[in-house]
């Protein structure tokens, strides 16, 4: 049966930092592997350490409380264990992975809806053809500049002394980066104008 971090420490969710530290010290004295040699005690001690590390840090505690209190988000998976005031939820790894995939899927669907809405608004705009022309001019202009710099740098490297080529080498490298950056940056936005 899964228990909450508060139940592991034997405190309520309204406990202060001093109460958390005090409860941790009391339980750690009983469960520490140097004092208690049983395997169950060492497992409980590891759970105690994990609970203490989460509850002593205000940011982690806040995130944990949000996870535990927001039961509707978990769609009735896992086990609910009675805590101090309410039922608390502790998802296992598989459930957490499933919940994370669901959140990512929802975000992707929202982004797709936003993208389609933006595309529709753009196509209905009076300036659609002008935006499309400027967009493609910008892309092809950057590609042209990058390729011109690469070709001229190669020409200079071929025509000059070999040692001088090391001084020129950063220029074609920068042009290649500009070429790749342009492709990556604008490949997503091209879908808006198709």
Question: Which residues lie closer than 8 Å to 177 by C-beta, 6 or more apart?
Answer: none
Q: Identify whether the C-beta of residue 9 lies closer than 8 Å to the C-beta of residue 20.
A: yes
Q: How far is CA 144 from the centre of its chain?
A: 36
The answer to whether the pTM exceeds 0.85 is: no
Distance CA 44, CA 64 (A): 19
**By C-alpha distance, which of 7, 4, 9, 2 is closest to 56?**
9
Q: What is the pLDDT of residue 78?
A: 42
- Residue 158 three-state SS: helix
**pLDDT tens-place string over residues 170-181:** 888 888 888 888
Bigger pLDDT: 52 vs 184: 52
Q: What is the pLDDT of residue 76?
A: 42
Distance CA 145, CA 140 (A): 9
Cα 33 to Cα 36, 45, 49, 53: the distances in Å are 5, 8, 12, 18
Q: What is the pLDDT of residue 194?
A: 65
**pLDDT tens-place string over residues 14-55:** 888 898 899 999 998 888 888 888 888 888 888 888 888 888
Does the pLDDT at position 191 exceed 80?
A: no
**pLDDT tens-place string over residues 83-139:** 444 445 566 777 788 888 999 999 999 988 988 888 888 888 888 888 888 888 888
């Amino acid at each position: 049966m899964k228990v909450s971090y508060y139940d592991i420490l034997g405190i309520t969710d309204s406990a202060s930092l001093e109460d958390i530290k005090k409860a941790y010290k009391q339980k750690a004295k009983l469960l520490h592997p140097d004092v208690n040699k049983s395997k169950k005690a060492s497992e409980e001690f590891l759970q105690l350490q994990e609970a203490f590390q989460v509850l002593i840090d205000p940011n982690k505690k806040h995130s944990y409380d949000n996870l535990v209190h927001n039961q509707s988000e978990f769609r009735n998976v896992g086990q609910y264990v009675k805590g101090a005031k309410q039922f608390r939820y502790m998802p296992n790894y598989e459930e957490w992975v499933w919940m994370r995939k669901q959140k990512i899927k929802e975000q992707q669907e929202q982004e797709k809806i936003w993208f389609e809405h933006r595309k529709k608004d753009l196509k209905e705009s009076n300036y659609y053809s002008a935006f499309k022309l400027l967009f493609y001019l910008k892309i092809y202009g950057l590609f042209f500049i990058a390729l011109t710099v690469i070709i001229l740098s190669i020409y200079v490297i071929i025509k000059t002394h070999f040692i001088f080529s090391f001084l020129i080498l950063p220029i074609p490298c920068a042009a290649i980066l500009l070429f790749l950056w342009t492709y990556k940056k604008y490949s997503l936005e091209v879908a808006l104008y198709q």
